[in-house]
Structure 1
Amino acid sequence: MSTVDPVTPVLTKRWLSPRSWSIQTYEQLEGYTAVRKALAATPEQIVQVVKDSGLRGRGGAGFPSGLKWSFMPPNEDKPHYLVINADEGEPGTCKDIPLMMADPHSLIEGCIIASYAMRSHHCFIYVRGEVIHCIRRLNQAVAEAKAAGYLGKDILGSGFDLEITVHAGAGAYICGEETALLDSLEGRRGQPRLKPPFPAAAGLYAAPTTVNNVETIASVPFIINGGAEWFRKMGTEKSPGPKIYSISGHVEKPGQYEAPLGTTLRQLLDMAGGMKDGIPLKFWTPGGSSTPMFTAEHLDVPLDFEGAVEAGSILGTTAVMVFNETVSVPWAVMKWTQFYKHESCGKCTPCREGTYWLTQILERMVDGNGTEEDIDTLLDVCDNVLGRSFCALGDGAVSPIQSGIKYFRDEFLALCQKNREKNRKPALAGAN
């Protein structure tokens, strides 16, 4: 475990300050000090510090951020773009929007430093269209930063120019996939692109682009101020740093909890006041609905990028959804699958058709009209979607089904049993 007290806030330290979203509060609490340090260094030095810190993408994949930044070409034949993925739409995921609401300037300062490191002069923040309050707050923060000389031409006399555009999406979950996001940002229908070319070579407007998550970029000013060694003191060796865990569902105090990477659900439940009304835990997701579910046996799995994978799931966005013993697993799996069917962009056949058929079968089973063969059919359809769809939405859609059947097959069988009994009764009545 971490050598740092798990309750020492880093990313969330300003959240409870009065008017935490204003530039005045931000500047009183070390705000915009990291950008001065960064602009005095070279872009290569900034990339190296981020590499040394071990910061990994907080949007789900956990790719090393410094390495991703280094993929940007050193020349400026074409404009370079930094795009922030703030299209938070995964069921259970709710860390980026509170961060932008409570502390938007930490994201903006991170954007300035990251843009400088990647020689980008235009940054786009792509925000989920439904969160109007969040978009307004970001726009206000950008205006404040510009008025104070942190954005625009010749920032703080460094000779570096940067503009930030806040762009509202149109409410499509698929636009959380980085290449679909870029298509949407260009004004086209949000659908994933074929890779290669990767965004670092040809992204937004066919120019070199880096797409990063909100929490990843908001961590950067702290790394510049505290240094790579300080950042590595938190979390684990391969997954360093603090993380915002979003805990929802059947707990006494749902909300955002900052803790070092590698914290377990047992520890998070202690922070969240335990299970609601004392009803025992049945199943939970470590990182939103697209991550294979865990059960009460997994209470002590370290929630970092390696620990979650070793236990058979992935860390995702650390959206910890907690379900107690009153919840039917087939019903929960059905609700998630309905979401994926609705949000499939329809570009590829496995996902478009697969999510449709999976929803049909699950709805029939939950209504009490399923058969045992349906369980095998579900798994067969999952096999035809997993790894065969154009982007990760297909993989995410089958995760709850495969893990649900793996741990709770008896519940799916019980629904089929109900159907058999229902069909047997009229036959017996006729015999009399």
Structure 2
Amino acid sequence: MPSLVSHPDEVKVVSRRFGLGATDIDKYVELDGYKAVQQAIAKGPEWIISEMKASGLRGRGGAGFPTGMKWSFVPKQSEKPKYVLVNGDESEPGTCKDHVLFLHDPHSVIEGTMIAGLAIGSKLGFIYLRGEYRYLLKIVEKAVADAYAKGFLGKNIFGTGVDFDILTQTGAGAYEVGEESALMESLEGKRGVPRIKPPFPAVVGLYGGPTVINNAETIANAPHILLMGGEAYARLGSERNGGTRLFGISGHVERPGVYELPMGYNLKRAIYEVAGGIKDGKKLKAVVPGGSSCPVMTADEIDVGLDFDQMGKAGTMLGSGGIVVLDETVSIVEFALRTIAFYQHESCGWCIPCREGTDWIKKTLTRVYNGGGNKKDVDNVQYLAENMLGRTFCPLGDAAAMPTIAFVKKFRKEFEDYIEGHKAGTPIITVEQLVGAH
């Protein structure tokens, strides 16, 4: 678990209460907690959505869709109940930001959920935590219970005549349920496999009712946006990418941790200044900029801004904000195998391209890693990944394919040199030992 670290370049918005005891509801209230939701009740849904649109807040789970626009898609009239679903199923390798929110400021997630509910006309919200985050469940459940005890949740909240309830739920450790439709299936007590779209959740979502689904960090920003104003929040970031972002910087850096930086902050500066540079004075080899599903960047590609648009132009993605730094000692062959082994294990098996594609890529890279590969295997890996891309029900297939394609294209010579140097070699280690017990 990353410790609380700090750097002068940080702009603390969503993390401003970290380390101040804000898990205690009285301390949270003292630090302006639950003011935004009362303001939202007084000013109404149209004002909330207007401020959220003005903020330029885009989904912090990885998709980067404008939050205010997403909320506006929910129909005002509905025969079925409307729901708010907070996605706290943080399972992307390299990503370590949402858990610090639950750990240090759970009430901001609760308050943000209430604000989203007010915006769309919902009376019930769900906070869904990753199964491995069960240790955080007690913290979140206590925060919810304290909010009920204060009259902030339940019937007639704040004495305003408005009702709103929140329920918590944990998953069973499946990466797949981080996809929004699989998340709804899981919450409904079914197997966590994706739904075919359309219909989209805003119209037909949880239990068939209109549903807003947002990442925990996205939701936690809502109270801060309403208090400071949407336009002021937008000015903190770059064009079309409002506000700040929690970035988890890990790997071979001197100061790993979770840092809150303005959207558009330079990636190279984040590594060399904020995180203290490459550990032990070694050279940088590669960077995974936003969690394991994002195409890898070489050392000479990192002078770029950390926002959705600039990273897209650079041929990769901002993703979930997990920056993984790899030094010169890392074997890309091994790293690629570790990556695809994760996705092969986590594939739900619902569709053939993902189920079979991840398995064959893993088998091929395992053979290469163990010394039995040939140069044709490198072409086969790329061919398999390219034929997975865009052909699966949910983005998991793409999440496996995109980094694989980038590994091969950008480090082909390393793959070929590895194969040449390990002809007819004996396995140094089994793939099970390499990737861990799956």
Fold agreement, TM-score > 0.5: yes
Q: 1:420 to 1:164 in 2, by over 3 A?
A: same
Alignment of 1:99 onto 2:119:
no
**1:328 aligned residue (331, 341, 348):** 331
SS at match of 1:153: strand
Residue of 228, 231, 245 corresponding to 2:230: 228
- 2:166 partner SS: strand
In structure 2, what residue type is equivalent to 1:78?
Answer: K
Q: 2-side partners of 1:28 and 1:295: how far apart? A: 46
Name the SS for the 2:43 alignment partner. Answer: coil
1:372–1:22 CA distance, 2 compared to 1 (3 A):
same
**Does the 8 A contact of 2:386 with 2:405 survive in 1?**
no
Q: CA deviation at 1:265?
A: 2.0
Q: Is 1:367 aligned to 2:356, yes or no?
A: no
Amino acid at match of 2:172: A
Question: Paired residue for 1:15?
Answer: 18
- 2: CA distance between counterparts of 1:351 and 1:422? 30
Distance across 2 between alignment mates of 1:413 and 1:61: 34
Equivalent position SS for 1:246: strand
SS of 1:193 mapped into structure 2: coil
Q: Does 1:338 align with 2:312?
A: no
Bigger Rg, which one? 1
Determine if contact 1:109/1:218 at 8 Å carries over to the other structure. Answer: yes
Post-superposition offset of 1:98: 1.0
Contact kept, 8 Å, 1:282 with 1:295, in 2: the verdict is yes
Within 5 Å, which residues of 2 pair with 1:300-311? Answer: 300-311=303-314
Using structure 1 for the length normalisation, give the TM-score.
0.95
1:118-129 matches, within 5 Å, as 118-129=120-131
Q: Does residue 416 of structure 2 align to residue 416 of structure 1?
A: no
Is 1:288 the counterpart of 2:291? The answer is yes
Q: Please provide the CA RMSD for this pair.
A: 1.2
Contact 1:370 1:415 in 2 (8 A): no
Match of 2:162, SS state, is coil
Does the C-alpha gap of structure 1 residues 422 and 285 become closer, same or farther in structure 2, counting only changes over 3 Å?
A: closer
TM-score normalized with structure 2 length = 0.94
Q: Pairwise mapping of residues 77-156 of structure 1 onto structure 2 (< 5 A)?
A: 77-156=79-158
Q: 2:354 aligns with which of 344, 351, 356?
A: 351
Are the counterparts in 1 of residues 370 and 425 from structure 2 also a CA contact under 8 Å? no
Secondary structure of 2:393's counterpart equals coil
State percent identity of aligned pairs: 48
Deviation at 1:157, TM superposition (A): 2.1
TM-superposition CA deviations, 1:54-77 (whole Å, max 9, x none): 111111000000110011110142
- 2: CA distance, partners of 1:193 / 1:87: 17
Q: For residue 6 of structure 1, report the CA deviation from its aligned partner.
A: 3.5
CA distance in 2, matches of 1:359, 1:278: 33
Q: Secondary structure at the match of 2:29?
A: helix
TM-aligned CA deviation for residue 419 of structure 1: 4.0
Give how far 1:299 is off: 2.3
- Between the aligned partners of 2:361 and 2:135, the Cα distance in structure 1 is 36
1-structure distance, mates of 2:410, 2:298: 8
- Counterpart residue number, 1:246: 248
Deviation at 1:110, TM superposition (A): 0.6
Alignment partner of 2:47: what SS? helix
1:317 matched to 2:320: yes
Shift of 1:331: 0.5
Q: Distance in 2 between matches of 1:229 and 1:169?
A: 36
Deviation at 1:420, TM superposition (A): 4.2
Q: Is the 8 A contact 1:50 1:65 kept in 2?
A: yes
Q: Which residue of 2 aligns with 1:187?
A: 189
Q: In the superposition, relative to structure 1, how do residues 421 and 369 fare at CA in structure 2: closer, same or farther (>3 Å)?
A: closer
| 4+ long deviations beyond 3 Å | 419-423
Distance 2:81 2:9 in 1: 41
Q: How many angstroms apart in 1 are the aligned matches of 2:47 and 2:230?
A: 12
Which amino acid is 1:173 matched to? Y
Structure 2, unaligned runs of 5 or more:
1-7, 427-438
Q: Please give the per-residue CA displacement for 1:118-175, whole angstroms capped at 9, x wherever unaligned.
A: 1111101110111122111000000011111110011112221111000011110000
Verify the 8 A CA contact 1:175 1:191 in the aligned structure 2. Answer: yes
Instruction: Choose 268-277 or 191-200, whichever is displaced more.
Output: 268-277
| CA displacement 1:307-348 (0-9 Å, x = unmatched) | 100000011011000110000001001001000000000000
Name stretches of at least 5 consecutive residues in structure 1 with no aligned partner: 424-432
Aligned partners of 1:256 and 1:298: how far apart in 2? Answer: 22
Q: How many residues align?
A: 418
Partner of 2:37: 35
User: Once the two structures are superposed, what CA deviation does each residue of 1:4-58 show, in whole Å capped at 9, x if it has no partner?
Assistant: x8323111111021x2311122111111111111110111111111111111111
8 Å contact kept, 1:371–1:419: no
